Amino acid sequence: MDIFIQAPIIARIPVKSSAFSVFLLLACAASCEKPAPKMESSSLPRAEAAAARVRPALELALRAKNLHFGDPVFIRAFKEERILELFVENRSSGRFELFRSYPVAAASGTLGPKLAEGDRQVPEGFYSVPPSAMNPNSQFHLAFNIGYPNALDRSLNRSGSAIMIHGDRVSTGCLAMTNEGIDEIYTLCAAAHASGQHAFAVHIFPFRPTPQRMASEQNSTWHAHWANLKEGNDYFEKHQRTPRITAKNGRYGFEALK
C-alpha cells in the first residue's frame, strides 16, 4: 500500500486573514532540533517588519521575470553546494521558474540522510510546509519547520524534530540562512500561503545529482538512496512541476498531480 507523503495544493483560494497571518512549533533553547509548543502566527511584528523591508524590491524583481508576489512557491536545496533555490509559479505556463538562489550560511553534518534525533544531520528528501509550520517569532529570527520526519522517514524508523530553515547563521541539523536571505524567503512563502497555497514543497538533496556526480558515488553506502532522490529531481527538471510523492518499500515514488 502506498503511503502518501506530499502533494502540494497550489490553487489560489482567498483566505480571511492579513497578508502575513501565517514555513511553528518552536522554542529551540539549546538546539533547533528540540520540539516546542505551537505558536500563533497572526500579525507578529517581526515578520511584518521583514515584509515591509523586502516586499517592494521583491515585487519589482518578480515583475521583471513575469512573476507575481503571492503566487505558489517551491524550495530546492543542495547540501554540498550550500545553495537554496526559490521557485515561483508562472501564471502563464503553470510551471515553476527559478526566482532567486540564496547561499546557505550554515548546515551541520555530512552527506547522507538524517537518521536520529541529535545526529546533527540535515535531512535529505521531500518535505511539505503548511502555514502552521511557519514561526515568525523564532529565536533564529524567522523560521519554518520543513516537516521532518516525513512518511518515508518514519517507515525507516528515523527520528528527529523541529528541523527548520531559519536565519541567524547557526545550525544543528537545520539549514541556516542569513537574516537578509530568510527575510525574503519567509516573506515570499508567507505570501503564497496567504494567497491560498496550502503547503509548499521543500526538496533537499545531498548535491546536484548530475550523472557525473552520481557516478562518483557509486560505491557509497547511500548510492541507492541518492539515486531514488535523483528520480524526484529529474521529474522536476523535466516538468518544472512538483510531483505527488509517495513512500513504498523504503523508496519514494513520483506521480503527476491530477
63-99 pLDDT, tens digit each: 999 999 999 999 999 999 999 999 999 999 999 999 9
Q: What is the DSSP string of 86-152?
A: EEEE-TTT--EEEEEEEE--EE-S-SS---STTS-PPP-EEEEE-GGGEETT-TTSSEEE---S-HH
> What pTM, to 2 d.p., does this model score?
0.84
Per-residue pLDDT, 169? 80
Per-residue pLDDT, 5? 58
Per-residue pLDDT, 172? 81
Residues of the chain with pLDDT below 70 are 1-44, 258
Per-residue pLDDT, 25? 35
DSSP letter at 84 equals E
Q: Identify the H or E element spanning 214.
A: helix 211-215
Per-residue pLDDT, 170? 81
For the chain, helix, strand, coil in percent to 5 are: 25, 25, 50
Who's near 32: CB < 8 A, 6+ residues apart?
Answer: 26, 140, 143, 162, 163, 164, 166, 170, 171, 172, 173, 174
> Which residues participate in catalysis according to the annotation?
166, 174
Per-residue pLDDT, 187? 98
Classify 3-255 by CATH class.
Answer: mainly beta
For residue range 210-247, list pLDDT tens digits in order: 999 999 999 999 999 999 999 999 999 999 999 999 99
Per-residue pLDDT, 22? 36
Residue the block writes with cell 554540498: 80
Domain ranges in the chain are 3-255
